[in-house]
A and B are shown apart, each in its own frame.
Chain A
Amino acid sequence: MTTLPLTASRVTTGGASAQSEPWRAGLRQTLRAEWTKLVSLRSTRWTLLTTVVGALLVTFLSTHGALHHSRAWYSGFDPTNQSLAGLAIGSLTLGILGVLAMSGEYGSGTIRSSLAAMPRRGVLLTAKVVLVGLGTLIVGEALSFIVFFEGQAVLSGGAPTASLGQPGVFRAVALSGAFLSLFALLGLGIGTVIRHTAGAIAVFAGCTLLASILLSSISESIARFAPELIFANSVAAVVPHLHSLSVTLGAVLMVAYCAVALGLGALLLNRRDA
């Protein structure tokens, strides 16, 4: 029972096979492989489901709670910001998706298969950045607009509402969707640096949730640099919060956080044994 249907298609045996040939495994092949990896895991589906259901629920609660208050209560009310509250869930879940995209490989040993298939490690990381970045950008944008409309629908039952045509509203909704993608990339960077899933998720949660809580209790002027507060108070806001960073500065800073995490990850990925 050991006849081998292998021999027929032998292409290259030994010898200096085509090392100058430009036709070799590259980003295109690695992207396809990474896509298959991502969609063939149940955890991806669960993460996306949690993100969507959680966001819809939190936005409903947040906007529902803003109904039927006194006129004074609505001074400075930001209906856009109120409706985007559900995206906070996504900043956590999609961040974890980013973490798992790399740390999951180390936990399971898959990284050895991945690097055997694509030994140029920068290409592997680039493929993950592109895939996680683009995938969560699409999900993030869709979700951001969905919760915006959901929130406005709820608010129309007895509170001021916003529309995309008002100044700053479209910017806040669109940029919030993009920010979810940045959280995922921050997670990917942290997952590449830390490599152990539990540790990486702890660090990610520390940088996002915990930082915003702890720093807020110390000083508002420091806390505003925390990713989660940039997200909630600068990016997702139309009416500026007290102490919050400008949208531009907040966005630049968040991109810088991701660049640092991914840059350090790339450096370590190239240097460390797998």
Chain B
Amino acid sequence: MIVTRGLTKRYGETLAVDNLSFTVSSGVVTGFLGPNGSGKSTAMRMILGLDKPDAGSALVNGCSYDELSWPLREVGALLDAKAFHPGRSARNHLRWLAQANDIPPGRVDTVLDLVGLTAVADRRAGKFSLGMGQRLGIASALLGDPGVLLLDEPVNGLDPEGIRWVRNLLRDLASEGRTVLVSSHLINEMALTAERLVVIGRGTLIADTSVDEFVARHQADAVRIVTPTPQRFAAVLSRVGARPSVDRDGVIVASGLSSADIGELAADQELTLHELTPLRASLEDVFMELTSTSTEYRSHTVDKDGAHVAVPVR
């Protein structure tokens, strides 16, 4: 279990993490979601005691990180791909980590095997590809068989097979009762992997909820209606409490009623329907909407088409 309370970190003028409070429970994968530069990594570094918060606290299993007796046996962390010396072999990197926390030396081979690095274990880690480095990082995190895992963008640099492997690994780890916090800037990835979400933007908490709830609350359902008499149809819709909007081509997008309700309404009022399509915002659109005011680095092309958030459901 990870608990942060009022976590705050300032770098010069920039408020990287602003009064952040959330709880990560055991037994489920929790996605830590936010655009690049939103403070995810900073928050994770503070949980690990690498950065000192300016205010607030972060506790792991009720202790601050530096109070843990055997940190690597309680918390496994993958911070960035390169937290190892390029001149040292993967096996030697894991060996010294094991020695630092009295972890049985046999675990080194176990985790090397688990992440699929056995064949290259004695090669200098500096020669590793991004994906191999990431696997070594995951091996380091799993070395002490910890009950709490913090993984910062673990699928970075992995091929599709590797991504699927990490996804399954995270679910398995959580199903064993571990606490798993995984950061990502990709909501679709998190929707596939995580059960709970902690969403942040510009260092502040936007949502702390389950994925299902997040989807249900933020995916505004709407229905697209094509009819030869759009003005009349819109008037009828308004009367029953739906919120219609008519565009230049006479296409209506109405929210507040299901497509079944609208179909029946059309039959009652003897209105002609040419098309009736349920629309749903994609998770990605919802995420962009939510964090758009809090995105630190924004490309300008995204700004312009911010108006259209609805796509048909397949």
Contact = CB atoms under 8 A, between A and B. Distances in A.
A24 B82 CA distance: 27
Interface string A65-98: 0000000000000000000000000000000000
B100 A25 contact: yes
A115 B92 contact: no
Nearest to A121: B66
Contacts of B70: 24-25
A17 B74 contact: yes
Contact of B100 (A10, A17, A32): A32
Interface in B108-161: 110, 114, 140, 142, 145, 147
Contact of A40 (B52, B67, B89, B169): B89
Interface residues of A, number: 48
A199 to B, nearest CB: 19
Contacts of A117: 71-72, 97, 100-101
B73 interface: yes
Nearest to A31: B99
Q: Is the interface of A mostly helix, strand, loop or mixed?
A: loop
B69 A6 contact: no
B80 A119 contact: no
Interface size for chain B: under 10, 10 to 19, 20 to 34, or 35 or more residues? 35 or more
Contacts of A40: 88-89, 92, 95-96
Interface string A30-64: 10111011001111000000000000000000000
A11 B95 contact: no
Interface string B68-90: 11111111010110111111110
Given A13-B26, A110-B84, A119-B66, A2 B172 contact: yes
Contacts of A6: 110, 114, 142, 145, 173, 176
A32 B98 CA distance: 10
A42 B25 CA distance: 43
Contacts of B55: none
A16 B63 contact: yes
A37 B98 CA distance: 12
B92 A36 contact: yes
A218 interface: no
B69 A109 contact: no
B213 interface: no
Contacts of A252: none
A109 to B, nearest CB: 5
A29 interface: yes
Contacts of A4: 114, 169, 172-173, 176
B73 A2 contact: no
Contact of B1 (A14, A25, A116): A14
B49 A108 contact: no
Given A13-B147, A40-B89, A115 B50 contact: yes
Contacts of A41: 85, 87-88
Contacts of B89: 40
Contacts of B178: 13
Given A13-B177, A25-B101, 7 more contacts: A12-B147, A15-B62, A24-B69, A32-B96, A36-B95, A40-B95, A274-B50
Interface of A: 1-2, 4-7, 9-19, 21, 23-25, 29-30, 32-34, 36-37, 40-43, 104-105, 108-110, 112-120, 273-274
Which 6 interchain pairs have the tightest Cβ spacing? Answer: A24-B69, A33-B100, A117-B100, A40-B92, A119-B66, A36-B96
21 contacts: A4-B169, A6-B114, A17-B61, A19-B69, A25-B70, A33-B96, A34-B96, A36-B92, A40-B92, A41-B87, A41-B88, A108-B85, A109-B82, A110-B85, A112-B48, A112-B83, A115-B49, A115-B50, A119-B65, A273-B50, A274-B51
